[in-house]
Each structure stands twice: as C-alpha cells, then as structure tokens.
Amino acid sequence: LTENNAKPIWHPMAHPAEMRATPPKIIMKGEGVSVTDAEGRTVLDAVGGLWNVNLGYSCDPIKQAMAAQLDALPYYSGFRGTSTGPSIELAYELTEWFAPEGMVRAFFTSGGSDSVETALRLARQYWKIRGQGDRTKFLALKKGYHGTHFGGASVNGNANFRRNYEPLLPGVFHTPAPWTYRNPFDETDPAKLAKLCARAIEEEIAFQGADTIAAFIMEPVLGAGGVIVPHESFMPMVRAICHRHDILLIADEVVTGFGRTGAWAGSRLSGVKPDFMTIAKAITSGYFPLGATLIGAKVADVFEADKTSFGAIGHGYTYSGHPVGCAAGLAALAETKRLALNENAAARGVELGKALEALKAKHQLVGDVRYQGLMAALELVSDRAAKKPADKKTMAAVADAAYGAGVMLRVSGNTVILSPPLVISATDVAKIAEGLDVGLAAAAAA
Ligand code: PMP
C-alpha cells in the first residue's frame, strides 16, 4: 500500500480531483489514542477518528463482546416481527442513560444521518397523527450540521453542504447561530447574543406561522460548523419558545452524546429535555456503524395511542438494531461509564482550553478559540482585525507540520477541529498543544 494507489476511492467531503493531487494518509493500525500510517509514522489522533473513537483503539471489552456476538448470531433484522437480545438490552441502556432528558424509546439506525432522517420523519408523522398535518416546516441554526441525507442536508446550516444538491426539502428556515466571533448583531457577549438569537427564532416563527412548523433541530454544541458553544441560557430559551408554540425540539447529539462535552448529554449541560435526540458515533466508540433516534414521552404516547392511519413507521434500515453493533454499543457504554469519561472529558477539556488560549496569545494566526469538554476549535485568520479567514495553503501547512510533530489534526475551512478520544491523559493534551504550536509556527513561516 502506498499513498499513490488509493485511486479507486472517492472520499467523503473531498474533491475527487484534489484527492488525486494530494493522496490520503493510509492508516494501518491503531493503539491506545494513536494511529500508525503505511509509512510507519505513529501520531496521536486528536480527531478521535471522526469525533467518535472515545475509548481509543485498544478497547478489548468491545472487541470481545463483538466476537462473542459474531459467534452467537452475526445478524438478524430488527424489522416488524423480529428482534435480538443485544438490541433490546441496548434500548434499555439508552433510555436509562438519557432518562434525565426524558427519553423513553429508541429507534435504531446505521449512523447519525439516518438518526436525523428518522427524527425529521417522526416529527412530521407526529403532527399528522394529531390532526395537524400542516405542521411540516423545520427550523434550524445557521452553521448547524445534521448529516448528509436530503432531509439532514436541508436542515444543515452551511451552504457548502447544500448548494450542489438543491432543490432540497422545501419549508426549512435557518436562524443565526449564537457564535460570538461572527454574528449579524456584532454582539460579543455570549448571554446577550443568546437572547438576540432566541428573539430571531421568535421572529421567524411569527413570520412562518407556528402552526406550520413541525420541529426545531439543533446541536447543543455545534460541532462540524466549528465548535460553536452557545451560552448556557440559549438551549433553555429555545426549549421554552418551542413549548410556547407547541413546536417539537430535536437535539442532534450525534457528537455531544456520551460525554464529549463533559456531561453525559449535551442537553444536560443546560438541563433541557428535548422531544427527540439523535445519537450515533460514540455509541460504539467507532467500532461499528450504529445510531439511534431517541423519543421522549410526549411523542411516544401519541404514537402508541394512535388510532389513525398515520402511526405506522414507514421506514427503517436493514441494519437497524444490528446485533453485533448493539453488542459493541453495550460494551462501549459500560466502559464509558466505568471510566467516568464525562469527568475525564471535563478535566482534560479545561487543560486543553488553557493550552489553546496560550496558543492564541502566542500566534497571530489564531483568531478565536472555542471549546467545551473535549470538543475544540481554533479559527485561523490571516488578519486578526479584519477576521479574514486563513487560506487553504495555510490550513494545510498547519496540519502537515503538526502531523510531522506526531499529532493528527482535522481542518475544516479555516478551522482546526479537535475531538480527541475521551481517554486521553494530561500528557496527551500537552502533546496536542505542542503539535499545534509546531503547526502554527510552520504555517506562519511558510
Ligand atoms: N449530526 C451531527 C451533529 C454530526 O456531527 C454528524 C456527523 N459528523 C451527523 C449528524 C451525521 O452522522 P453520520 O456521519 O454518522 O451519518
């Protein structure tokens, strides 16, 4: 295997022509929090796979649980009429895990995009059952990321992920994200900005008519959009607005679920009970593609008492409730709890945050740093006063030099995104900061 023979693959979120010019690093092995490429270079994975490998690459309990399940029953469907032991057990585990958020049911999917699609579908169905079939619209935040299916892409709040695929779902409207660094109000105070963003939602609802809106979808901390951390008052305000107008609230917790923010759920940071939660990624720590849409009591009751023709769920996935995936999930969640990874994410997150602030003080390239638990971002700019986004060449130089210094980073637009495994140590945090330091210095010198 060499970097030049990776040609038959088109990679997600990449330009096929660009990938030919800059072939991928081929990852051969993973151990602990590090991965090794085809040339034998071992680097600390500050990306944590893709926000998901919370337990690192050597989690024996997950591997053993998967192997045992492969022996007993490698697959059976969870469609109407059949189920499997691991999927039932995992559904119990998830409703217990997210009981503080009021979740009572789980619908299994193959990943985050499927989970979002399911939540959007169930939200529309809910209103049809209730005789309010005109409630079809969705509201979402600019900069939000909700996966790649047509429904999810429609509620995505980043034009780059939408513009090549239009027309998308009609009736989707976006309101400003509580992003202190760049927002239409020029407001830098997080609490004041939260209020302005909440008011913008109220205005959009008034403009659309509340009785046309099915649901509002948001990430408790916006991940792929650049780790935008709302003030703690924001999500409770959104919850109150949704209550007032009888609009369903979908918390997209694909990244924020299971401890990454320092809390077991992103919604728990501010004590919010959504109507749906979408989860995936860390549910198996990346060892198997699995996701779920969790359903709160208000919605579950309406479906389970339904006497109309609208209650039957008209979609599902071949791998909904895959027994090997659910066995991986049960083992991953048991380890996550045993190691109290929420506490480690919070403690290491504070150290990482301090290190990022120090890098901002040292390097002019760093325009803004944002962090919550072990999700963090550095927004790079070529001119601090004008907040001019750093160019592609600069971003590549940061990532390449950091890789040379033993740290894998992820670059998205002009942002460096960090989402290391939640099992990292204080020494690992220091190593990530060193890698960034080297990367930023190299990019400034280039
Ligand atoms: N929602 C959020 C918040 C995400 O971050 C992602 C993936 N990054 C998705 C949905 C889609 O998940 P998947 O890639 O597993 O389909």
The pLDDT score that the predictor gives to residue 4 is 67
Domain with CATH 3.40.640.10 in the chain: 63-338
Q: What pTM, to 2 d.p., does this model score?
A: 0.98
Distance 151 CA to ligand 1 centre (A): 13
Distance 146 CA to ligand 1 centre (A): 6
**Sequence-ordered list of residues with C-beta below 8 angstroms from that of 168, at least 6 positions apart, any chain:** 150, 153, 154, 162
**Sequence-ordered list of residues with C-beta below 8 angstroms from that of 178, at least 6 positions apart, any chain:** 190, 193, 194, 197, 228, 230, 231, 234
Mean per-residue pLDDT of the chain: 97
The pLDDT score that the predictor gives to residue 211 is 98
> pLDDT tens digit string along 298-312?
999 999 999 999 999
pLDDT of residue 6 exceeding 80: no
Instruction: State how far the Cα of 250 lies from the Cα of 128, in Å rounded to an integer.
Output: 17
For the beta sheet containing 103-109, the strands, ordered from the edge strand earlier in sequence to the opposite edge, are 103-109, 291-296, 276-279, 248-252, 213-218, 137-141, 172-175
Any atom of ligand 1 within 6 Å of the Cβ of 112: yes
Find the mean pLDDT for residues 264-274. Answer: 98
> pLDDT tens digit string along 54-63?
999 999 999 9
> pLDDT tens digit string along 31-68?
999 999 999 999 999 999 999 999 999 999 999 999 99
Any atom of ligand 1 within 6 Å of the Cβ of 255: yes
Distance 282 CA to ligand 1 centre (A): 11
Residue 207, number of CB atoms within 10 A of its CB? 8
Any atom of ligand 1 within 6 Å of the Cβ of 116: yes
The complex's ipTM? 0.99
Any atom of ligand 1 within 6 Å of the Cβ of 220: no
Q: Pairing between strand 388-389 and 375-383?
A: antiparallel
Contact 314, 355 (CB under 8 A): no
Distance 141 CA to ligand 1 centre (A): 15
Distance 113 CA to ligand 1 centre (A): 6
Domain with CATH 3.90.1150.10 in the chain: 3-55+340-445
* 63-338 placed in CATH 3.40.640.10: yes
> pLDDT tens digit string along 410-421?
999 999 999 999
Any atom of ligand 1 within 6 Å of the Cβ of 225: no
User: Can you name the CATH fold of 3-55+340-445?
Assistant: Aspartate Aminotransferase, domain 1 (3.90.1150)
Instruction: State how far the Cα of 290 lies from the Cα of 283, in Å rounded to an integer.
Output: 7
CA angle 393, 44, 9 (to 5 degrees): 60
Instruction: State how far the Cα of 172 lies from the Cα of 204, in Å rounded to an integer.
Output: 11
Q: Pairing between strand 213-218 and 410-412?
A: unpaired
What is the helix (H) or strand (E) element at residue 20, kind and residue range? helix 16-21
